[in-house]
């Protein structure tokens, strides 16, 4: 199954004349920066909760056995902590391919740790995309993740690297840490 968003994203934003753009990463974009960047700074966005509700058929799973990766769900009052990268607009050619399984680029205000603010872009897989899986018990999400592998590697590596990165950012993401707990204690 594919919800290929490459062409839609290419037409969503015009970067004419801009030297750089901020990108906010909250999932694999925190721990796997396989793209050139000019600056990298911890940051947060408001009103969004990170959830393992997006299916991965192309990176951390397959069509037959999809993995689960994170997307953002609108939730007033919730802060999502992540990493902001200042990148040249050309880098979106690579990122649009990497994030092609259902993610669309949205504009967002972002706040750096020193209180400075900027506008940036963020990839979000909304419930309308065909790879969206939606909510499930964290124990079931952990089971699905434990059994999924894809071209980018095992799904559990994605979860564990994300959890470690969030600890480094001093984030308290109960959803991610809850799934991590079930993954590390499968008989719980």
Other C-beta atoms closer than 10 Å to the C-beta of 126 total 15
| Cβ contact 95:15 at 8 Å | no
The single residue of 7, 46, 99, 138 carrying the catalytic annotation is 99
Single out the residue of 26, 53, 92, 182 in contact with ligand SIN (rule: CB under 6 A).
26
- Residue 70 as a binder of ligand SIN (CB under 6 A): the answer is yes
The answer to whether residue 28 forms part of the interface with ligand SIN (CB under 6 A) is yes
Q: Which of 21, 22, 25, 49 binds ligand SIN (CB under 6 A)?
A: 25
Handedness of CA 24, 43, 111, 134 (dihedral sign): positive
Kindly state the DSSP code that residue 10 receives in the 8-state scheme.
H
Asked if residue 133 binds ligand SIN (CB under 6 A), the reply is no
Q: Is 48 in the site for ligand SIN (CB under 6 A)?
A: no
β-partners of residue 87 are 21
Number of residues that bind ligand SIN (CB under 6 A): 9
Judged by CB under 6 A, which stretch of 19-27, 39-47, 108-116, 174-182 contacts ligand SIN? 19-27
Distance CA 26, CA 149 (A): 21
CB 50 within 8 A of CB 175: yes
Point out the residues that are catalytic.
99
Residues that bind ligand SIN (CB under 6 A): 25-29, 69-70, 99, 123
């Amino acid at each position: 199954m594919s919800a290929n968003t490459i062409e839609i994203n290419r037409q969503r934003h015009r970067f004419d004349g801009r030297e750089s753009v901020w990108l906010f990463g909250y999932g694999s974009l925190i721990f796997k920066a396989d793209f050139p960047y000019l600056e990298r700074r911890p940051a947060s966005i408001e009103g969004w909760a990170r959830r393992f509700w997006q299916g991965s058929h192309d990176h951390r799973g397959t069509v037959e056995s999809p993995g689960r990766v994170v997307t953002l769900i609108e939730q007033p009052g919730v802060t999502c902590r992540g990493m902001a990268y200042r990148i040249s607009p050309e880098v979106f050619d690579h990122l649009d391919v990497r994030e092609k399984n259902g993610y669309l680029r949205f504009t967002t205000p972002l706040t750096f740790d020193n209180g400075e603010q900027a506008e940036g872009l963020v990839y979000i897989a909304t419930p309308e995309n065909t790879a969206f899986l939606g909510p499930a018990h964290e124990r079931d999400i952990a089971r699905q993740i434990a059994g999924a592998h894809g071209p980018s590697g095992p799904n559990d590596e994605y979860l564990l690297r994300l959890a470690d990165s969030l600890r480094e950012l001093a984030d308290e993401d109960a959803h991610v840490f809850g799934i991590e707990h079930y993954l590390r204690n499968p008989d719980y």
